Structure 1
Amino acid sequence: MKGLACVTMLVLGLGLTACQSSNAPKNTRTHEYTLKQKCPTLMDMKVGDVLVFNAPENPSTGYQWQLLQPLKIFKTEETYTQNEVEQGAVGVGGTKTFRFSAEKPGQDYIELVHIRAWESSKQPDQQWRCRIRVS
Structure 2
Amino acid sequence: GKVPSLLQVYHHAGIALAMWGSSVTQGSWIAWVVCLNSFIHTVMYTYFLLSTLGIKVPGAKYLTSAQIIQFFTGIFGTIGVQVMGEECDTEASRAVLTFIQMYAVGLIFLFGAFFGKKYNKKDGKGKAKKN
Give TM-score, length-normalised by structure 2: 0.27
More helix by share: 2
More strand by share: 1
